[in-house]
Amino acid sequence: MAEAFTAAAQYFRAQEHENNLRKKTAGSIAKLERARQSLAGGVSSGLRRTARPFPLYFDHGTGPYITDVDGNTYVDYMLGWGPLILGHAPPAINAAVADVLQRGHTFGAQHDLEYEVAELLQQYIPCAERIAFANSGTEVVQVALRLARACTSRPRYLKFEGHYHGWDDSTLVSYHPTLEEIGQAHGAPVPVGTGQRANADAIVVEWNDSQAVEQAFREHGAEISAIICEPLLCNSGCIPADPGFLAFLRQITSTHGALLIFDEVITGLRLALGGAQQLYGVVPDLATFAKAIGGGMPLSALAGKKEYMDWIATGRVVHAGTLNGNPVVLAAAKATLQTLAADNGAAYNRMWSLGEMLRQGLQDRLRQKHIPVVTTGGGPVFQVLFQEKAPRTYRETLAADRSLYIDFAVAMLDEGVALLQDGRWYISAAHTMQEVERTLAATDRILQ
């Protein structure tokens, strides 16, 4: 296998592509240097800091394309890390936002778009008997966990290794630990950065390990308020739940009087209009949405069953936020939902079939060159991993050659295709067969 990876590294010629990129993107380099004198790390979110060869500066995006400040245009599969489900600057969102902008940006008070968008979400999302809006995924996860603690009078929650639920201290644990960190922690949650408060609330087990979940309930059942999970583990290899595993989580939480929370920040509106819960047919008690729900605007939502959401309705559980539910983001959400629902959800048929074509095409081409590769996930969001066997857990993704994948992503960037460097690919409703063909042709050039 090591030999196969060495051969692949020769195909990808990362150094040559990096040199080309440096020549083509002089404007980005200069702007990054300038930004580093004022912005911490020159970027606005830590995950963007490590992009290779360096974080690019972009000027504009249109549909499935993004253009940098040096005028290079790329087919975009980053899609702002997921929100741009309709692509860049979609006319439907632009028109809706332009219209509300004339009437004020925020009221800190009630307006029609709040219940109009909530009604649409109720219509599409199985668990959405009631909705509460906020601005980011991190915030709504916090409200969901608070609600679970309140409803059950229990202090702790169970999460899975490799799942990401935002950057608050309470959830930013055991996200991408090394095997050494896992070993040293002896089963305790592993914080991601320094300065985080010690976390005694999280109980962490491996994804798809039903025995570990059962054991956690045997040992700590009286303390567990909820299980939270990404129903498709998009943040660590797009790993699906084993058949029956989500139903098992539904059943064990119900049996023990705990809540089941689906973190649908990525899967929401992406896998289906009703999210992963619609696609997989398992209805959680609460679900969190962000990213695609705002079509690129900062909007998040907690959806849940009335009996739990009533704790918010009566003020016993606090849900607050100055900019919550402002007209600008909700206009974008309404346009996004209406566009995705049009023609009986035709956009989903397109995203699924293009995504599957693309992932199969990539996989076939790489395998033809004897590069060990697996692709996981589903059409609108999938993952390319340089390893032999499809992973079932986060730990199994550690077998992937990540630095080789980054070489591949750098080569693709030089060939006009912008990818997230963690191996995740997002498709939007604006992508067409033309972009898929362009992307596969770029792959062919790299592999020549």
Ligand X SMILES: Cc1ncc(COP(=O)(O)O)c(C=O)c1O
Active site residues: 164, 263, 291
Position among 228, 261, 290, 373 found at the interface with ligand X (CB under 6 A) = 290
Q: Is 273 in the site for ligand X (CB under 6 A)?
A: no
Nearer to ligand X, 87 or 137 (CB): 137
Q: Which residues contact 200 (CB under 8 A, 6 or more apart)?
A: 156
Q: Which is nearer to ligand X, 239 or 265 (CB)?
A: 265
Within positions 250 to 269, which residues make up the interface with ligand X, using CB under 6 A? 263, 265-266
Query: What contacts 86, CB < 8 A, 6 or more positions away?
Result: 92, 93, 295, 296, 336, 339, 340, 428, 429, 430
The H-assigned helical ranges of 125-209 are: 137-152, 179-185
Asked whether the beta carbons of 21 and 413 are under 8 A apart, the reply is yes
Distance CA 113, CA 297 (A): 15
Question: Quick one: which of 25, 72, 138, 278 contacts ligand X (CB under 6 A)?
Answer: 138
**Angle at alpha carbon of residue 428, lines to 423 and 430, rounded to 5°:** 140
- What is the smallest separation between the CB atom of 408 and ligand X, expressed in angstroms? 22
142 binds ligand X (CB under 6 A): no
Least distance (Å) between residue 424 CB and ligand X: 10
Question: Cβ 268 to ligand X, closest distance in Å?
Answer: 9
| Residue 137 engages ligand X in binding (rule: CB under 6 A) | yes
First to last CA, the chain: 21
The CA distance from 304 to 226, in Å, is 13
Per CB under 6 A, 165 contacts ligand X: yes
> What residue is closest to ligand X based on CB?
137
Vertex 399 angle, CA 230 and 242, to 5°: 35
In angstroms, how far apart are the furthest CA atoms of the chain?
Answer: 64
The total number of residues shown for the chain amounts to 448
Give the binding range for ligand X (CB under 6 A) out of 69-77, 136-144, 341-349, 428-436: 136-144
259 within 8 A of 286, measured Cβ to Cβ = yes
Q: Does 164 bind ligand X (CB under 6 A)?
A: yes
Q: Would you call 129 exposed, middle or buried from its count of C-beta atoms within 10 A (0-12, 13-18, 19+)? A: middle
Q: Is 136 in the site for ligand X (CB under 6 A)?
A: yes
Rule CB under 6 A: is residue 159 a binding residue for ligand X? Answer: no
What is the arrangement of strands in the sheet containing 424-426, beginning at the earlier edge strand?
A: 374-378, 381-385, 424-426
Shortest distance in whole angstroms from residue 265 CB to ligand X: 3
Q: Which residues pair with 304 in a beta bridge?
A: 130, 286
Considering only residues 232 through 251, tell me which ones interact with ligand X, judged by CB under 6 A: 235
- Residue from 79, 84, 93, 141 binding ligand X (CB under 6 A): 141
Q: How far is the CB of 299 from ligand X (least distance, A)?
A: 9
CB of residue 399 vs ligand X: minimum separation in angstroms? 23
- Name the segment binding ligand X (CB under 6 A); options: 30-38, 158-166, 251-259, 363-371: 158-166
Of 235 and 278, CB closest to ligand X: 235
Determine contact, residues 287/264, Cβ cutoff 8 Å.
yes
Judged by the rule CB under 6 A, the positions of this chain that interact with ligand X are 136-138, 141, 164-166, 230, 235, 263, 265-266, 290
